[in-house]
Structure 1
Amino acid sequence: MTRSVYVTGIDRGDGRQVVELGVMELLTRQVDRVGVFRPLVHHRPDRLFDLLRSRYRLTQDPATVYGMDYHEASALQAERGTDELVSQLVDRFHAVARDYEVVLVLGTDFAATQLPDELALNARLANEFGASVIPVVGGKGQPAESVRAEARNAFRAYDGLGCDVLAMVVNRVAAEDRAAIAERLTARLPVPCYVLPDEPALAAPTVSQITHALGATVVLGDDAGFARDALDFVFGGAMLPNFLNALTPGCLVVTPGDRADLVIGALAAHSAGTPPIAGVLLTLDERPSDAILTLAARLAPGTPVISVPGTSFPTAAELFALEGKLNAATPRKAETALGLFERHVDTADLLRRVSVARSGRVTPMMFEHELLEQARADRRRVVLPEGTEERVLRAADVLLRRGVCDLTLLGDVETIRKKAADLGMDLGDSQLIDPQTSELRDSFAEKYARLRAHKGVTVELAYDVVSDVNYFGTLMVEEGLADGMVSGSVHSTAATIRPAFEIIKTKPEASIVSSVFFMCLADKVLVYGDCAVNPDPNAEQLADIAVQSAATAARFGVEPRIAMLSYSTGTSGSGADVDKVREATKLVRESRPELRIEGPIQYDAAVEPSVAATKLPGSEVAGQATVLIFPDLNTGNNTYKAVQRSAGAVAVGPVLQGLRKPVNDLSRGALVSDIVNTVAITAIQSQPQPESQELPA
């Protein structure tokens, strides 16, 4: 029977979308096929479903998501009664449930629905669907005692109507009241109660949303600028010095269009990062001259400047009525929402209470979810030497919003701040360091000179070397000032990993540094090694790569079954290349008899059971290999790229192994998501390894 979770409320304005998004994240972490059903809808398409569909790559036909619209439901209930309404909605729900392992049900929104006793209708639908319920109570602007009473009443209401209440969520409470409310409710309710503070960035409209709502004309700006949140509104009328003192981070400046001094002053402040603003809204249908606009575009490229015909007062009334919304066009709000949910909800316990059996399939999304969760469980610090690069900054934004790890960004500090401001990013408590001016440079130079004295490196020469961001970042890792490093989005592999070879060096048990890619196929994850570092390893090195790759696989939840790949299987072939693989397999069996390994073996026999049954019947690896070791870099690198491009696999890596401390390299074509995944992997590598994942020595 399909498991379903019904997220509902008691009134409007509870910010329930945060919980719906968070629950969807949990469900997709466990199973491959998650359906969505909204019994009643105001408008189609529905903005939350559009967000879920884009973010979680849902293939569900949108026509099956909705039961019916509120007008239809109201008319049906009035003419034929509640039983008929419920009956039709149950039929439509089961049409979805038949095709999915679990269904997330999005309850009614209590917004001008004209339905009597909407809470009871949600409770009945949940019972008829066989769904467990998570009620959400909004606490914005309410005193703590009122919030506690409302949460208790909501639990009693749904529990009294026969619902299986999984947990309660109280959302949007004052940050200073959160802990006290949580403590009192935990003591008074028989189910967990998670309390989320109000997050201003979620309620803040983006500049794009403001532009659309006001019907404003775009004067300047790019997509990144229009994605910024307007966290505050500052109305310009004062003289420039007083006006500049009134600016706040993330504010939207509202000023008459003929005040060129305030426009240029606001954009100059943004350019200097004191403070970064969301944009400028011009009123009175006035626009500065072309010369002023040209200067504005050069001062703060991409920063939005928009214009409306009205005066400041009616414009202010419209602005203060706006509230940010989660939708497919606001992915950064989604990251903020998920970070909020994951910080304040015991996700492991909630997932246990939902009791959805983990799917036997492992999709790319499930693997990526697991990486972020594993990294977040023991938060570490990762240094990013390419701190001025846009893709790295965008990845940092995701990592910080999700609370995955702490970050150190290297580069010119003012450049980092300016680029972050242009992207509308808040770097929070991230550490920003310029290696050229850092007080660490002297001590790092002395350290590097000692390490490389046998190569004739002096302190003077080392002083120049350690100003390089990759050397500086590597020394931070070596000295324990960071737990790991990720670089390579604009640097070559050699420039990224050479400092690690010189400074961090290999683990005592590893003879070489090697790499793996996690190849996320449609239904499983395979580990490919070595596809990035060693051109032509000998038998001993190949054996070391196999052992290292098995340990890496186990560390990331892939049960290691090792295939030592060659162009022949078993004893069918001979020659130097096959003999090398055969010898490497023998060495692994002798040194690590507990590892399951087969070789030499061809790729098809390694992964396809029908081929394995013919070529190597009875093998415990053939046909079900998870760790595939290539005989040389030429074969490995081409194979991973062929599978990535032709089979649509997601390739995560390269992940370096064998170093004493983790340093990882990025492809220069890395996407933001690739950088996020690699940083998460690096953070996990730096965590103490659980005994259950250690391979016997």
Structure 2
Amino acid sequence: MARSVYVTGIDRGDGRQAVELGVMELLTRQVDRVGVFRPLVHAHAPGGDHVVELLRDRYRLDLPTTEMYGLTYEAAAALQAAQGQDELVGALVERFRALERDCQAVLILGTDFAGTNIPDELAFNARLANEFGAAVLPVVGGHSEDPQAVVAEVRNAYRAYRDLGCATLAMIANRVATGAKEEVLRALAAKLPIPAYVIPEEPALAAPTVAQLVEATGAELLLGDAAGLARDVRGFVFGGAMLPTFLTALTEGALVVTPGDRADLVIGSLAAHAAGAPPIAGVLLTLGQHPGPNVMALAARLAPGTPVAVVPEGSWITAAALTHLEGRLDAAGPRKAEIALGLFELHVDTAELTKRIELSRSERVTPMMFEHELLERARAVRRHVVLPEGTEERVLRAAEVLLRRNICDLTLLGDPEEVRRKASSLGLDLPAEPAGDRARLRIVDPATSPLRQQFAELYTRLRAHKGMTVELALDVVTDVSYFGTLMVQEGIADGMVSGAVHSTAATIRPAFEVIKTSPGAAIVSSVFFMCLADKVLVYGDCAVNPDPDAQQLADIAVQSADTAAQFGVEPRVAMLSYSTGTSGSGADVDKVRKATELVRELRPDLLVEGPIQYDAAVDAHVAATKLPGSAVAGRATVLIFPDLNTGNNTYKAVQRSAGAVAVGPVLQGLRKPVNDLSRGALVEDIVNTVAITAIQSQTGRPAGGVGTDPRTDSPRPDSPEGAQQS
């Protein structure tokens, strides 16, 4: 039977969607077949329930949509009125069991207390949880409540579910005033026999997006792209004053609401946005008036992508419609999901909660499980990674995810004003100052940093044999790739990730010159983690060395085996060729055979086989015929290709044809981690690569880490470099 968690509440406005998302994240880390079930759903929900659809999309659920819902509220009320609650519950249990049979775990989403015609919803949710055999995780909303009231509500909810016979995992107080968190947490710890977690209010979750406002008001969209529509609306500015006075009222993230005939306010607010003083969310025009074509053409040039929409009503009716609108989590807004997950992971003891759910970890490793593991390991011992491409959109989006999920501290390189203006125009929320134990950000301009002189002198010493002078080096180190590499070399950052807009050569060359290869490594090479449906394989080298000789191939194999072990993949090394065992000959096969012998000499502890064909390496039936009795054949996890042509084409063929997730390239052989991105890298790829870089830097490093205070260019006092220089 599947292990099920029933997330429920006691009233509206508890923000439990963030908790539901967090629990789903925990479940998918442990098992690969997780279901979602909404017992009751509103018939008018367009395209289905927005939380169910978010979870379906984000976690790639392949369950039929019809199996994820029980009944509509209307059908449930009619059934209960006609035949009683027992018949209603029986019908819902039958639907739930049909889903549960196909799942290892199920997340159940309780009723929403929104005019549902279901009497005593708390008792109804409790009964469903008991009938489903699910543990309950109640969420109590603390928005605008004082600490004593929150504590009382949580205690009352606990008693209510306990008295109704529920197995309660923990209690969660959500949307609690930030300053009241510790007081509420202490009081609950003293009064409850089960764990209690307190999640503070997060304005970025409560803020609706422009897209949600457009949908809620039925506005007609005149201008705007997807990024603009995804911006959070943090306030409203109603236009009525003359332009000079109006401009002083603008605030960052505000939605400008003004009659459509006020071209001066439309153009003025968009011009202010373009200048970053301040960046607004968008413009909503009232009274159904469309600006003229000249005005709209100028608006499009001033602030490309910034939404401009129009509603037929006047400002008063529009204001009333906007006042009580809050943000929501849905598949169209992945940013809010990342914010919610970061909040959940920061304030909930996820290890403790996972243990209480009592799930046994699946032996299969899915791509999602591998990615979860990367983020979890990076977060466990937080490092500091520098991203040289600080104004690139994908890098900025990845940075927000990394900071919100508390994965690592970051330095973005670039003009701070330009970086923040670009982030604001994308609707991103990069923290200005660290808060509590959250991941920290700093933005550094190599041209004006006080580190420039220090780095120039260091680079001059390193490259003196090439005729480098301080004067020349002062220019070299303003290049973001060199500046970032020197930060890593000096221990100011623990690793670097670049390549979204720079070439591989531009990323790696500074590392060759400054960081150099690690002791025992003959060359720098790379691997890809190939996440298949049920396992993870390691491919090397698919990105760096065009035609390695036998010695270099052996070095690649040893490095790749060590990298695999570092990331939880038991290394069984296959040295690939077009021939298996002694069946073939020729220069190419002989190279692989010689490399295999060298690996055995260098590392007798490793399981290695070669030469071996790909099918014999991964397919047990083929292996039984071609290499019976081999400890590697049919079970290989690390596959070493004889040259770059073979490796690069194979990884791309498997990625596209088998639907594998390729994570990498991950560079190996450098003394400190520097990793290269594909110029077509997605935001998700950047997040994964940064997490890998952070994990690489954890090896052999103290838990406190090495780096600098994010608000200065000075080494942090907990770093060895800081101690030496202080």
Give the shorter-chain TM-score range.
over 0.9
Mind listing any 5+ residue stretches in structure 2 that lack a counterpart? 433-440, 703-726
Query: Who is 1:257 aligned against?
Result: 260
C-alpha distance in 2, partners of 1:372/1:533?
A: 26
Check 1:689–1:349 CA distance in 2 against 1; reply closer, same or farther (3 A cut). Answer: farther
Query: Who is 1:555 aligned against?
Result: 566
Mind listing any 5+ residue stretches in structure 1 that lack a counterpart? 692-697
Residue number among 164, 168, 176 corresponding to 2:171 in the alignment: 168
Contact residue 134 and residue 165 of structure 1 kept, 8 A = yes
User: How much does 1:28 deviate?
Assistant: 1.2
Query: Who is 2:466 aligned against?
Result: 455
User: How much does 1:217 deviate?
Assistant: 2.3
Query: Who is 1:157 aligned against?
Result: 160
Q: Does 1:198 align with 2:209?
A: no
Q: Does 1:319 align with 2:322?
A: yes
Letter in structure 1 aligned against 2:36 = V
C-alpha distance in 2, partners of 1:117/1:525?
A: 48
C-alpha distance in 2, partners of 1:541/1:180?
A: 60
C-alpha distance in 2, partners of 1:437/1:383?
A: 17
Query: Who is 2:303 aligned against?
Result: 300
User: How much does 1:651 deviate?
Assistant: 0.9
Letter in structure 1 aligned against 2:319 = A
Q: Does 1:627 align with 2:638?
A: yes
Contact residue 564 and residue 598 of structure 1 kept, 8 A = yes
User: How much does 1:71 deviate?
Assistant: 1.7
C-alpha distance in 2, partners of 1:362/1:606?
A: 19
Paired residue secondary structure (1:164): coil
Deviates more, 1:399-408 or 1:365-374: 399-408
Q: TM-score, structure 1 length as denominator? A: 0.96
Contact residue 516 and residue 530 of structure 1 kept, 8 A = yes
Contact residue 3 and residue 102 of structure 1 kept, 8 A = yes
Q: Does 1:291 align with 2:302?
A: no
Residue number among 461, 473, 476 corresponding to 2:487 in the alignment: 476
Q: How does 1:90-105 map to 2 (within 5 A)?
A: 90-105=93-108
List per-residue Cα deviations over 1:5-45 (Å, max 9, x = no partner): 11111111111111111111111111111111111111351
Check 1:80–1:690 CA distance in 2 against 1; reply closer, same or farther (3 A cut). Answer: farther
Residue number among 611, 616, 633 corresponding to 2:622 in the alignment: 611
C-alpha distance in 2, partners of 1:130/1:617?
A: 48
C-alpha distance in 1, partners of 2:98/2:296?
A: 56
Deviates more, 1:182-191 or 1:413-422: 413-422
Query: Who is 1:695 aligned against?
Result: none
Query: Who is 2:475 aligned against?
Result: 464
Letter in structure 2 aligned against 1:230 = V
Q: Does 1:208 align with 2:248?
A: no
Query: Who is 1:694 aligned against?
Result: none
Letter in structure 1 aligned against 2:37 = F
Contact residue 254 and residue 282 of structure 1 kept, 8 A = yes
Paired residue secondary structure (1:128): helix
Letter in structure 2 aligned against 1:675 = I
Query: Who is 1:666 aligned against?
Result: 677
Paired residue secondary structure (1:533): coil
Letter in structure 1 aligned against 2:664 = G
Query: Who is 1:272 aligned against?
Result: 275
Query: Who is 2:714 aligned against?
Result: none
User: How much does 1:508 deviate?
Assistant: 1.2
Query: Who is 1:185 aligned against?
Result: 188
User: How much does 1:571 deviate?
Assistant: 2.5
Q: Does 1:365 align with 2:388?
A: no
Q: How does 1:105-504 map to 2 (within 5 A)?
A: 105-429=108-432, 430-504=441-515
Contact residue 555 and residue 689 of structure 1 kept, 8 A = no
Contact residue 301 and residue 422 of structure 1 kept, 8 A = no
List per-residue Cα deviations over 1:369-415 (Å, max 9, x = no partner): 21122212222222111222222222223222322222222234443
User: How much does 1:183 deviate?
Assistant: 1.7
Residue number among 578, 603, 606 corresponding to 1:595 in the alignment: 606
Q: Does 1:23 align with 2:36?
A: no
Letter in structure 2 aligned against 1:127 = N
Paired residue secondary structure (2:662): strand
C-alpha distance in 2, partners of 1:374/1:256?
A: 52
Q: Does 1:50 align with 2:62?
A: no
Paired residue secondary structure (1:195): strand
Residue number among 648, 655, 662 corresponding to 1:651 in the alignment: 662
User: How much does 1:111 deviate?
Assistant: 1.6
C-alpha distance in 2, partners of 1:90/1:586?
A: 61
Q: Does 1:584 align with 2:595?
A: yes
Residue number among 640, 647, 669 corresponding to 1:636 in the alignment: 647
Paired residue secondary structure (1:165): coil
Q: Does 1:3 align with 2:6?
A: no
Letter in structure 1 aligned against 2:233 = A
User: How much does 1:431 deviate?
Assistant: 2.0
Paired residue secondary structure (2:312): coil
Letter in structure 2 aligned against 1:250 = G
List per-residue Cα deviations over 1:185-240 (Å, max 9, x = no partner): 12221111111111111121111111121122223221211111101112233343
C-alpha distance in 2, partners of 1:268/1:555?
A: 51
User: How much does 1:134 deviate?
Assistant: 0.5
User: How much does 1:689 deviate?
Assistant: 5.0
C-alpha distance in 2, partners of 1:372/1:244?
A: 43
Contact residue 270 and residue 421 of structure 1 kept, 8 A = no
C-alpha distance in 2, partners of 1:292/1:433?
A: 38
Contact residue 513 and residue 657 of structure 1 kept, 8 A = yes
C-alpha distance in 2, partners of 1:239/1:551?
A: 67
User: How much does 1:287 deviate?
Assistant: 4.1
Letter in structure 1 aligned against 2:627 = L
List per-residue Cα deviations over 1:489-541 (Å, max 9, x = no partner): 22211111010000011111212111000011111110001111112222222
List per-residue Cα deviations over 1:50-109 (Å, max 9, x = no partner): 111111111111111111111221222222222222111111111111111111111111
Query: Who is 1:508 aligned against?
Result: 519
Query: Who is 2:687 aligned against?
Result: 676
List per-residue Cα deviations over 1:253-312 (Å, max 9, x = no partner): 222333333323322222222222111122233344433333322222111122223322
Contact residue 396 and residue 407 of structure 1 kept, 8 A = yes
C-alpha distance in 1, partners of 2:290/2:6?
A: 50
| CA RMSD across the alignment | 1.7
Q: Does 1:70 align with 2:81?
A: no
List per-residue Cα deviations over 1:544-575 (Å, max 9, x = no partner): 21111111111111111111112222222333
Deviates more, 1:284-293 or 1:375-384: 284-293
User: How much does 1:418 deviate?
Assistant: 2.8
Query: Who is 2:13 aligned against?
Result: 13
C-alpha distance in 2, partners of 1:83/1:217?
A: 47
C-alpha distance in 2, partners of 1:56/1:650?
A: 14
Q: Percent identity?
A: 74
Residue number among 533, 542, 549 corresponding to 1:538 in the alignment: 549
Paired residue secondary structure (2:574): strand
List per-residue Cα deviations over 1:424-472 (Å, max 9, x = no partner): 1122243222323333222221111110001111112212211211111
Check 1:298–1:418 CA distance in 2 against 1; reply closer, same or farther (3 A cut). Answer: farther
Letter in structure 2 aligned against 1:558 = V
Deviates more, 1:219-228 or 1:142-151: 219-228
Paired residue secondary structure (2:625): helix
C-alpha distance in 2, partners of 1:346/1:558?
A: 27
